[in-house]
Structure 1
């Protein structure tokens, strides 16, 4: 399942990367068409854009970094230092990878008439979209051992996915990213977390621990056994 997940999210990222680097006319036309359509809608709804400007920063990369670091501190205090290190290392690596790719690809951000927002730096992949994917997935994988039913586990994954989609949409709607930027950001963020979870699970099994399904039970479920019943 991990290999399937990595493949599902890696393939679109690689395809988008190649299309961006080769300045594919098809991708350029698609990105520009969506950008202009959403920009026209933005100019007609200033109140909605004000909301998106606030919301996109509330769910920005630094919010996720702070949440993960605070969670890691809590994990350390609870006696789960390995999981704490895993969380911080994963989101840190993801952020550095995003910066490196931005520098390598060096794609220009949208340049729209009457812009409703602005952002510094290169465009591909979206740091906000990737940060949301990294942060939301890491926190869900830590939260899963506390959830008693499969329904509740599905719900938190759905909420995490909804946050990723919203953040991705907000960046395009504000005219600071192309659609391909945010899709690539989400895809790469998920790939980094899946790869980190697989690495952690491989280490667990190498230590002789009972095999776990991280997407269902969390990354280190034994760290919290006894903290709830059921």
Structure 2
């Protein structure tokens, strides 16, 4: 009889955990900007036209632009990286494919986290751009052009959220000795995206920094919501070095099923 009672209670407990997980994801999306204290501080400095930051922006833009003008082959490489390899559309398609694979595998909540992180990052970045309305750099003899407003960098923000999703989902499938390589590739890619945008003269350095900070804030908040769901369902805490759901490395498991 006690065993039967536990079995009857488990589905209800899991449904309650599911509802809490959904609520936490929505809450994380809603408070992302408020929780991003470093980003908020940067936004204040940008809007206030703080002179040291403005000088840094102009020095970086002018210096890298001169290099781009003097080295056409280097500039062409930056265009390929920025407009194709690290383009937001390319990265979003990658996240969408990963989300579909997670759904096929049965990891519905991990798929929801990946999708929510990507969508929240995209919408939040677009909203902040619209509110700030910062103009892009205007340089003599420009080597590239980009539409829309400048702050924060959509490329930098999308790279931050996308590579975080790739890492935190796929790390359990990577041998431990190779995980450092994955982290290095992801970090260098995120930094590389920012460098290309400044070097091509389509963003200020502070735009890129803002994209990194806001993207990181979104990832931290949605990841904490996912970790809270794991706690609600009785699963062990995880470490960022092993990914959000280590059980994903099992042979076609039910990763959403909590241990009883």
- Structure 1 length as normaliser, TM-score? 0.90
* Aligned twin of 1:163: 189
* Aligned twin of 1:224: 249
188-197 or 217-226, which deviates more? 217-226
1:180 alignment partner, one of 178, 187, 206: 206
Deviation track 1:28-53 (CA, whole Å, cap 9, x = no partner) reads 11100110111111110111111111
Deviation track 1:78-127 (CA, whole Å, cap 9, x = no partner) reads 11111112111110010000000101111110000111001011100000
* Local SS of the residue matching 1:41: helix
* Aligned twin of 2:21: none
The CA distance in 2 between the partners of 1:125 and 1:216, in whole Å, is 28
* Aligned twin of 1:153: 179
The CA distance in 1 between the partners of 2:44 and 2:145, in whole Å, is 26
Q: How far apart are residue 16 of structure 1 and its match? A: 1.6
Change (3 A) 1:46 1:121: same
The CA distance in 1 between the partners of 2:206 and 2:139, in whole Å, is 16
Equivalence map 1:1-230=2 (5 Å): 10-57=36-83, 58-149=85-176, 151-213=177-239, 215-226=240-251
Aligned-residue RMSD, C-alpha: 1.8
The CA distance in 2 between the partners of 1:184 and 1:138, in whole Å, is 19
Q: Where do 5+ consecutive residues of structure 1 fail to align?
A: 1-5
- Structure 2 length as normaliser, TM-score? 0.80
Q: Where do 5+ consecutive residues of structure 2 fail to align?
A: 1-31, 253-260
Question: How many residues get paired?
Answer: 219
* Aligned twin of 1:3: none
Highest Rg: 1 or 2? Answer: 2
The CA distance in 2 between the partners of 1:56 and 1:39, in whole Å, is 15
Deviation track 1:101-155 (CA, whole Å, cap 9, x = no partner) reads 1011111100001110010111000000111111111001111111231x32222
Q: How far apart are residue 10 of structure 1 and its match? A: 4.1
The CA distance in 1 between the partners of 2:116 and 2:166, in whole Å, is 13
